[in-house]
Amino acid sequence: MTSLQTLRQLGQSIWLDNLSRDHLREGTLARLIDEGVSGITSNPTIFHKAVSASPYYRDDLDALRRSEPDPERRYETLVLEDIRAACDHFHPVYAASAGDDGYVSLEVAPRLADDTAGTVAEAKRLAALVGRDNLLIKVPGTPEGIAAFERLTAEGVRVNVTLLFSLQHVVRVFEAYIRGARAWLAAGGDPARLKAVASLFLSRVDTLADKRLDALATPEALHMRGRTAVAMAKLAYQRYKDLFHGAAFAELKAAGVRPQYLLWASSGTKNPSYSDLLYVEPLMGPETINTLPDKTLEALLEHGQVAARLEEGVADAEAHLVRLEHLDISPAALGEELQREGVRLFADAYDQLIALMR
């Protein structure tokens, strides 16, 4: 078995954080599915890179420039073709897992990050246009996005809540899912219909935390670099267990509602002095997903050591976040800063992507 298949037996799904026509048309995605990749995520940055670099979009884009006056509709036409194709590739995984796995994520326009009603309307519109059951609509974990997520869950729309950077973000999203699921069931909805994940971003957390620690320049601070994101993720998993294996979710679980799995995002290592699997090996555990960029996936396949480590060092993780607070580095404040920056970066990438359509 590949390491991905071994991880699946352990209870963790590995998704690919990259979608392009190169992967679809050159057989790369089909090969990765055979090796154990069981889902895929996308975002405006990924699509900007794909459209600008791949020759497979050129003819279609030229035709759209002649037939479709709106650059956003041109983008949508191109991207939805890729999303549908990816959904079809993963449908056997979706069917074999009875809807637990095999999903493809598509993001709403980043300009709607602070617009609850707009996000709800756009999510429903995109879901209808794609027309595939194994689609997750990506909604940002801003306060307005979380409110939209709750409403979408209450209407049976499957969602990937993205741009989460703190324990506080994660807990708010989990609680919104539970409220939305209760509303869905109260309205007579099928519990098996619900599916949601919570995407916790990792490498960006270390990048910012390390910057703050470097500025302090004390031996203690320098020793703490590169540890914040994994500590946060381990504690987020404990919050997941508390909620979804506890009293708050018991009634929904008995009714057949799935828990909202944590998805480790931004899992490619940005600091070259750190392990290329820093956000992979320590976070292997059941009822989780890790979405990996191509290079990180290659590293996992080449030299990854598969073992359940997610619940190792939880006390150390707690102590690390406490020490950060004592150093006047608030993980919650880092999360708020990173979320604002994340929304801005995705909005910039989206604007650049639309500019390519002109």
Reference 208, options 310, 326, 91, 342; nearest CA is 342
Number of compact structural domains in the chain: 1
Per-residue pLDDT in tens (0 to 9) along the chain, 358 residues: 889 999 999 999 999 999 999 999 999 999 999 999 999 999 999 999 999 999 999 999 999 999 999 999 999 999 999 999 999 999 999 999 999 999 999 999 999 999 999 999 999 999 999 999 999 999 999 999 999 999 999 999 999 999 999 999 999 999 999 999 999 999 999 999 999 999 999 999 999 999 999 999 999 999 999 999 999 999 999 999 999 999 999 999 999 999 999 999 999 999 999 999 999 999 999 999 999 999 999 999 999 999 999 999 999 999 999 999 999 999 999 999 999 999 999 999 999 999 999 9
Reference 7, options 45, 36, 42; nearest CA is 36
Question: CB of 267 within 8 A of CB of 233?
Answer: no
For the chain, the distance separating the N- and C-terminal CA atoms, rounded to the nearest angstrom, is: 46
> 3-state class of 259 per DSSP?
coil
Instruction: Supply the CATH number for residue 157's domain.
Output: 3.20.20.70
* pLDDT at site 1: 81
27: β partners:
none
* pLDDT at site 123: 98
- Residue 140 backbone phi and psi in degrees, to 5: -70, 150
* pLDDT at site 100: 98
Question: CB of 257 within 8 A of CB of 208?
Answer: no
Count other C-beta atoms under 10 Å from residue 255's C-beta. 12
Residue count of the chain, please give it: 358
- Residue 169: which residues within 8 A CB-CB, separation 6 or more? 141, 200, 335, 339
DSSP state of 317: H
Residues with a known catalytic role: 138
Question: CB of 40 within 8 A of CB of 14?
Answer: no
The residue type at 79:
V
Count other C-beta atoms under 10 Å from residue 325's C-beta. 11
Give kind and range of the element (H or E) at residue 160: strand 159-164
Laid out side by side, the sheet with 261-265 consists of 12-16, 288-292, 261-265, 196-201, 159-164, 135-140, 104-107
Question: CB of 78 within 8 A of CB of 105?
Answer: no
Count other C-beta atoms under 10 Å from residue 5's C-beta. 15
> What is d(CA 335, CA 147) in angstroms, rounded to the nearest whole number?
18
> 3-state class of 125 per DSSP?
helix
DSSP state of 108: P
* Residues 86, 87, 89, 93, Cα dihedral to 10°: 140
The pTM of the full predicted model, rounded to 2 decimals, is 0.97
Q: Is 131 exposed, middle or buried (0-12, 13-18, 19+ CB in 10 A)?
A: exposed
The residue range of the domain holding 218 is: 3-357
How far is residue 138 CA from its own chain's centroid?
Answer: 8
Question: CB of 276 within 8 A of CB of 296?
Answer: yes
Question: CB of 265 within 8 A of CB of 296?
Answer: no
